[in-house]
Amino acid sequence: MQHRASAKIHPNPEGTMKRIRLAHALLPALLLSATLALASDWHHGKLMDTEKQEVPTGSTTTYNTDAKARNGNYSQNTTAHSTDDTDTYQVFTIQTHTKTYIVREKLNFPWSKPANITLGEDVKFMVQGNKMTILDDDQKQHKASIVKASVTQAP
């Protein structure tokens, strides 16, 4: 018994090529419009103040027990060591023409670095609900929580 392989030929190869060319022509336009849409969400403000905050979150107690058994006698010594736990935040005050935001970026690890932005200089940011994304001087995005927002008073 012989099986014959059959090649399936598209009924309209020219139509397929037209669709591929159209897709290649539209792709850059779609990418450009998406980029412009994202770029339009960025706001500009001025960094007015910054400070590092250590916020206590509780404490951790570690127990260490040493036990000895000798000649039928048993002795035990327990020591407790307590350490205070803290969360570290970098707090920024960013002022625009209409609003002033106080935001804090949580530094999750001792080696974490806050947004690299210069005091008194312009800063780019985006607001989504109660969150802010800050674009720092190194073009890195940093997430922060909005602690307070107020209307900027006219001078």
Tens-place pLDDT, residues 64-121:
888 887 787 888 888 888 888 899 999 999 999 999 999 999 999 989 999 999 999 9
To the nearest whole number, what is the mean pLDDT of the chain?
Answer: 83
Tell me the domain boundaries of the chain. Answer: 44-151
Q: Hunting for tokens 């209409």 — which residue is that?
A: 98
H helices of the chain, in order, are 13-40
Per DSSP bridges, beta strands 141-151 and 73-95 are unpaired
Identity of the amino acid at 95: Q
CA distance 124 to 133: 9
- Higher pLDDT pick, 34 / 145: 145
Lowest mean pLDDT among 23-32, 46-55, 107-116: 23-32
CB 132: neighbour CB atoms within 10 A? 22
CA distance 112 to 107: 5
Residue 93: its pLDDT value, please?
98
CA distance 129 to 135: 17
Residue 65: its pLDDT value, please?
86
Percent of the chain with pLDDT over 70: 74
CA distance 38 to 40: 5
Q: Which residues contact 74 (CB under 8 A, 6 or more apart)?
A: 67, 68
Nearest to 89 by CA among 78, 99, 74, 103: 103
Reading the block at residue 47, the tokens are 């960094």
